[in-house]
Amino acid sequence: MYEYVRLGGGSGYVDCPARMGLYAENGQAILIDTGGDKSAGRKLRQILDSNGYKLQAIYNTHSHADHIGGNAYLQKQTGCKVYAQPMEAAFVRNPILEPALLFGGSPFRELRSKFLMAEPSVVEDLTEMLPGWQLIPEPGHSPGMVGYLSPDGAAYIGDAVSSEETLDKYHIFYLWDPKGYLETLDRLEAGINGVRWWVPAHAPVCEDIRPLAAKNREKVLEIADRVAGLCEEPQIFENILTGILNLYGITLNAQQYGLIGSTLRGYLSWLQERGDLTAGVEDNQLLWRSV
Hey, what amino acid is at 103? F
Q: 3-state DSSP: the chain helix, strand, coil percent, rounded to 5?
A: 40, 20, 40
pLDDT digits (tens, 9 = 90+) for 246-258: 999 999 999 999 9
Q: What is the pLDDT of residues 106-152, one digit of tens each?
A: 999 999 999 999 999 999 999 888 899 999 999 999 999 999 999 99
Q: What is the mean pLDDT of residues 77-96?
A: 97
Rounded to the nearest integer, the mean pLDDT of the chain is: 97
On whether the CB atoms of residues 19 and 200 are closer than 8 A, the answer is: yes
Query: Which pLDDT does position 263 carry in this prediction?
Result: 98
pLDDT, tens digit, 9 for 90 and up, residues 184-211:
999 999 999 999 999 999 999 999 999 9
Dihedral, CA atoms, 89, 91, 95, 98, nearest 10 degrees?
-150
Contact 63, 92 (CB under 8 A): yes
In words, the CATH class of domain 3-209 is alpha beta
The full set of domain ranges for the chain reads: 3-209, 221-290
User: Does the pLDDT of residue 153 top 90, yes or no?
Assistant: yes
**Higher-confidence position of 18 and 240:** 240
Name all contacts of 241-249 with Cβ < 8 Å and 24+ positions apart: 244/172, 248/171, 248/172
Q: What span, in angstroms and rounded, lies between the C-alpha atoms of 207 and 287?
A: 45
Same fold, 3-209 and 221-290: no
Per-residue pLDDT band for 160 (boundaries 50, 70, 90) equals very high
Residue of 138, 65, 209 lying closest to 146 (CA atoms): 138
CATH class of the 221-290 domain in this structure: mainly alpha
